[in-house]
Amino acid sequence: MTTTPQAARRATPRKRRSATPTVPDPAAALLPQADPVRLLNPDGTLLPSRADYPEPPVTALREMYRRMVVGRRFDAQATALTKQGRLAVYPSSRGQEACQVGGVLAVRDDDWVFPTYRESMALTARGIDPVEVLTLLRGDWHCGYDPAVRRTAPQCTPLATQCVHAAGLAYGETYQGRDTVALVYIGDGATSEGDFHEGVNFAAVFKAPVVFFVQNNRYAISVPLSRQTAAPTLAYKGVGYGVPSEQVDGNDPVAVLAVLEKAVAHARAGRGPFLVEAHTYRMEPHTNADDATRYRDADEVEAWRDRDPVARLEAYLRSREVLDDAAVAAIAQEAEEYAARLRERMNTQPSVDPLTLFDHVYAQPTPQLAAQRDQVRAELAAQEEDA
């Protein structure tokens, strides 16, 4: 009987294929969680504890509440100063108190903070004199505080340029053997800028200890988030550069502090940068010169009012019996006194010399600049003669 080739193959036992070893996906460790980290419900009740983000000490949370209350009152007073002509412009951060204060509480005094123009509340929470904080917004040509002494860069108006500065400084600190961390405040609009991507990429390649803290408040001036990115969330923008990322409920003060403390610890341990996206909302217009009703409706604003971070933390601390009516009243009084001192100190018009506009433009003034200076000098002299 002749055996066909097909039958022979059927008769021959097949070798068992070895199982393909599972290769871990290196990107998995970089991905943010599918939903923003939240430890408190909007009503201030505590959610089940999490091993990955333990609750910060209650003493730290009480101090966070105090700074948030004082910061909100400062913010309201600064807004009022613009209406009185004491400030040229003011970008409010009302509604973002958990992010503003949580950022500075997560870092050490000798770490560096790189703020945007919206971080006035964060700077006062860091202990910088409020008049010095507002100096730039009065129209001065430099910030009012010493960045080297305060370990705080000048407030940055161009979007995202501070990302590059922070990455360079943090790398330099590491190169000199120091464990300094740089915390960079960024708005959602800044993630669309090239400097953001360059800063994140540089920090990732050189393992610079930077925490890129994105406050996603839904609008880059009037442009909604949907017109800025097609990414599931802004936190995913770190993954492509090899940067671990996380997203957090930015109106949950407990979660904000817990996530940022973990990010800072990651950077300080020499593991490179970390990106955190906080989902929050600015309750006021972009600045006092903006009409927010042109691009968002009252119902949207009202919905976010129910997620107030200050009320949320207050309710939780009351439930822990570390805050009562007397303590709340005392902190409110402290905030009022803070605002009153600021009003008094800002009630005088600064003395400025228009000719200083021409200082430090060039190391050696150009002929055109010298001619313009002479023209202004002549106009000022003419005004004095007419007076």
Which positions are catalytic? 282, 286, 295
Contact between 124 and 106 (Cβ < 8 Å): no
Rounded Cα distance, 372 and 375, in Å:
5
Question: Three-class SS of residue 343?
Answer: helix
Closest by CA position to 347, among listed 134, 140, 124: 134
Q: Tell me how many helices (H) and strands (E) the chain has.
A: 13, 7
Q: Which residues pair with 216 in a beta bridge?
A: 279
For every residue of 258-279, DSSP letters joined together read HHHHHHHHHHHTTS--EEEEEE
Alpha-carbon distance values, 115 to 153, 158, 196, 249, 272 (Å): 7, 11, 14, 20, 20
For every residue of 171-207, DSSP letters joined together read HHHHHTT----EEEEEEGGGGGSHHHHHHHHHHHHTT
Which uninterrupted H or E stretch holds 213? strand 210-216
Residue 181 burial by CB count (10 A; 0-12/13-18/19+): exposed, middle or buried? buried
Rounded Cα distance, 29 and 64, in Å:
30
Rounded Cα distance, 381 and 153, in Å:
38
Query: How far from each other are the two terminal CA atoms of the chain, in whole angstroms?
Result: 128
The type of residue at 16 is R
For every residue of 54-115, DSSP letters joined together read PPPPHHHHHHHHHHHHHHHHHHHHHHHHHHTTS-S-----TT-HHHHHHHHHHS-TTSEEE-
CB atoms within 10 A of CB 316: 25
Closest by CA position to 121, among listed 147, 94, 146: 94
